[in-house]
């Protein structure tokens, strides 16, 4: 072996290891995606089999929906107010400030309400789903269910998925409503936009399809967040440390999947609606 080849050997190894590590990451991601899809299909199949546990669904609706009302209201009102301000100062330059309410409302309806309420629910309820199910897994509570002849996915995941999927459109609608109140308040009271013009432009340019688009998106985001939250819960390993890691992954992946699916849903819904 020449001196030259000896010098180049470590570089080659490093490059090789880099490709190897990149390949391993891709394989791991594909495997993880497959496992998630398989879990979701399994949960969907259990959704339509008796016994139907409505009490558990209502408990989860209360947890995911009711308990998120405060934070969604807070975020919605400030988003609407900030949107009104930012839009006003841009639109004022070209003398179309009468459209502030309309633009804010359409942006909220189509994008901000479903996406931001989705991110809030992913951080709050999605993480809680993973932590609850994960800690049940590491303390053998899920095994205890299975030994009794109760399917863990049906008992724990299905009510959470139904509740998440139904709650998010409602939370998104609340976000939209509160956001518009915030925007109206700032626009008409602080920015001196005429109330009648504000409302008439809103009625003229905003359509029911805009609201539908946001609600349909929220429905899918709710489904994604709750399946991701429960999936990571069932896949927790290695005790308390694993629960923390699973919760972290659940929030990160829940948010990533909301943002990615938002693009595809938008491009699809624009053509359909």
Partner 1 sequence: MLSFDNPAVRIDKLTKTFGKHTVLNELSFDIPRGKITTILGFSGAGKSTLLKHILGLMHPTGGKIEVLGKDLSELRPVELREFRQKFGMLFQYAALFDSLSALENVAFPLREFTKLDNSEIVSRCHKLLDSVGIKEITRDNLPSELSGGMRKRVGLARALALSPEIMLYDEPTTGLDPITTHMVNDLIVSTSEQSKDRQMTSIIISHDVRASLRISDFVAFLDRGNIVEYLPASEFANSKNELVQEFVNL
> Stretches 141-149, 173-181, 241-249, 252-260: which one binds partner 1 (CB under 8 A)?
141-149
CA distance 73 to 83: 15
Stretch that binds partner 1, among 19-27, 134-142, 219-227, 260-268 (CB under 8 A): 134-142
CB-wise, 146 or 194, nearer to partner 1? 146
DSSP 8-state symbol, 140: T
For every residue of 44-96, DSSP letters joined together read HHHHTSSPP-HHHHHHHHHHHTGGGHHHHHHHHHHHHHHHHHHHHHHHGGGT-
Report the nearest approach of partner 1 to the CB of residue 22 (Å).
25
229, 248 in Cβ contact below 8 A?
no
**Which tokens belong to 67?**
């308990």
Q: Is residue 151 a contact point for partner 1 (CB under 8 A)?
A: yes
Q: Which residue number, 28 or 140, has a Cβ lying nearer to partner 1?
A: 140
- DSSP code of 52? P
The span of 68-76, 112-120, 147-155, 228-236 binding partner 1 (CB under 8 A) equals 147-155
* Angular region, 254: left φ>0, alpha ψ -120 to 50, beta rest: alpha
The piece of 32-40, 63-71, 135-143, 251-259 that touches partner 1 (CB under 8 A) is 135-143
Rounded distance, CA 154 to CA 146, Å? 11
For partner 1, the binding residue among 93, 94, 149, 192 (CB under 8 A) is 149
**Single residue of 146, 194, 195, 241 touching partner 1 by CB under 8 A:** 146
Taking the least distance from each CB to partner 1, the nearer of 132 and 250 is 132
| Helices 113-121, 239-272: crossing angle, 10 deg rounding | 170
Rank residues 126 and 152 by Cβ distance to partner 1 and give the closer one: 152
Helices (H), 92-238: 100-107, 113-121, 127-138, 141-147, 152, 158-185, 195-205, 208-234
Among 20, 31, 140, 204, binds partner 1 (CB under 8 A): 140
User: Applying CB under 8 A, what is the total number of residues that bind partner 1?
Assistant: 13
Pick the closer one to partner 1 by CB: 14 or 48.
48
Q: Please report whether residue 144 would count as binding partner 1 according to CB under 8 A.
A: yes
Binding mask 78-117 for partner 1 (x = CB under 8 A): ----------------------------------------
Tokens of 179: 């956001």
Q: Contact with partner 1 (CB under 8 A): which of 47, 56, 96, 150?
A: 150
The per-residue b/e assignment along 118-143, b for 16 or more CB within 10 angstroms, e otherwise, is bbbbbbbbbbbbbbbbbbbbbeeebe
Question: Which range touches partner 1 (CB under 8 A), out of 10-18, 148-156, 189-197, 213-221?
Answer: 148-156
User: Which residue ranges make up the site for partner 1 (CB under 8 A)?
Assistant: 135-136, 139-141, 143-144, 146-151
């Amino acid at each position: 072996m020449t001196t030259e080849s000896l010098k180049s050997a470590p570089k080659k190894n490093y490059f090789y290891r880099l490709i190897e590590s990149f390949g391993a990451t891709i394989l791991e991601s594909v495997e993880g995606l497959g496992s998630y899809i398989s879990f979701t299909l399994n949960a969907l199949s259990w959704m339509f089999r008796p016994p139907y546990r409505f009490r558990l669904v209502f408990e989860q609706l209360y947890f995911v929906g009711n308990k998120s009302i405060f934070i969604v209201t807070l975020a919605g009102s400030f988003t609407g107010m900030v949107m009104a301000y930012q839009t006003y100062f841009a639109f004022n330059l070209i003398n179309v400030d009468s459209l502030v309410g309309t633009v804010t409302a359409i942006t909220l309806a189509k994008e901000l309400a479903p996406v931001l309420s989705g991110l809030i629910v992913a951080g709050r309820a999605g993480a809680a789903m993973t932590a609850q199910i994960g800690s049940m897994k590491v303390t053998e509570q899920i095994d205890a269910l299975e030994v009794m002849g109760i399917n863990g996915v049906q008992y724990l995941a299905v009510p959470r998925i139904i509740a998440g999927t139904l709650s998010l459109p409602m939370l998104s609608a609340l976000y939209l409503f509160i956001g518009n109140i915030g925007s109206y308040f700032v626009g008409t009271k602080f920015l001196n936009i005429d109330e009648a013009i504000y409302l008439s432009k809103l009625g003229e340019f905003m359509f029911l399809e805009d609201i539908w688009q946001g609600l349909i998106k929220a429905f899918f985001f709710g489904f994604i967040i709750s399946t991701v939250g429960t999936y990571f819960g069932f896949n927790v390993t290695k005790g308390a440390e694993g629960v923390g890691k699973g919760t972290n992954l659940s929030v990160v992946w829940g948010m990533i999947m909301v943002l990615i699916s938002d693009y595809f849903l938008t491009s699809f819904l624009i053509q359909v609606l």
